[in-house]
Amino acid sequence: LINVFIMAQLMSKQFSMSPWITGIAFYIVSFVFGIGGIILSMSI
């Protein structure tokens, strides 16, 4: 979770975006991927 936040801050600096918007976007993406991974592992 900390790694994701650091990545989000680095990305926000690179694209000069708001770190909060980038952080929320990263959180949603990681959440979706987490759910997708659980569904995939259960379906296999």
Residue type (1 letter), 39: I
Nearest alpha-carbon partner for 27 in 6, 5, 11: 5
Q: What is the pLDDT of residues 1-44, one digit of tens each?
A: 677 777 777 766 766 666 677 778 878 888 888 888 888 888 87
CA atoms within 13 A on the CB side of 28: 6
The answer to pTM > 0.85 is no
